[in-house]
Amino acid sequence: DMHLCISRQTENIVKNVLRNHSKEDWAIKYVPHGIDENKFYPITNDPKFEEYKKNMLGDEKYDFIVLHTSRNIRRKNQSDIILSWRTFLDQLPKEKAKKCLLLLHTDKVCEHGTHLPNVIKALCDPEIHKVKFTESKFDDKHMNYLYNCSDAHMFFTDNEGWGLGLTESLTSGRM
């Protein structure tokens, strides 16, 4: 039996509780976890990233990009994200709204989720409410590029805590 502590705070609490017991009886180990800052980080002055960004976004220049990364399943609430995006953009002047993009890193259609292109068609004016999908799974390098393409990360889930994508995005310098 062993106490595996995933934070230094937990390790200190456990050691404090056990301070009156012989250290020979302790089976406590700190197991660091989290995001590898060598894989997810803010990118500056990288021509390969600039090329990736141009390929991802095309020639259009956006003033604000929101990223969503998650599986297309019911509890991830992608339809609510799309509706929220439209509601947000409807509060901006049209010319500013046209310079914003919602970037969805998820399957367009999934039997456990919804048909997102139909949701977008029903809720969004393609001239004003811009939504774009990524087309494949990415390795860590390309996920870091994707995070760095955005200004913010949006995540709406039911019955779920903090998402891994949010932490990777924060580590990449995105809110």
pLDDT, tens only, 90-127: 999 999 999 999 999 999 999 988 999 999 999 999 99
Nearest alpha-carbon partner for 26 in 4, 54, 44? 4
Q: How far apart are CA 3 and CA 28, in angstroms?
A: 5
Mean pLDDT for the chain overall: 89
pLDDT at position 37 is 83
Condensed to tens digits (0 to 9), the pLDDT of residues 37-88 reads 889 999 999 999 999 999 999 989 999 999 999 888 888 888 999 999 999 9
- Write the pLDDT tens digit of every residue in 120-143: 999 999 999 999 999 788 999 999
Which secondary-structure segment (H or E) carries 142? Answer: helix 140-149
3-state secondary structure of 84: helix
Q: Is 5 helix (H, G, I), strand (E, B) or coil?
A: strand
Q: What is the pTM of this model?
A: 0.79
Q: Is the dihedral of CA 135, 85, 143, 54 positive or negative?
A: positive
Rounded to the nearest 10°, the torsion over CA 7, 174, 43, 39 is 30
* Helix, strand, coil shares, percent, the chain, to 5: 40, 15, 45
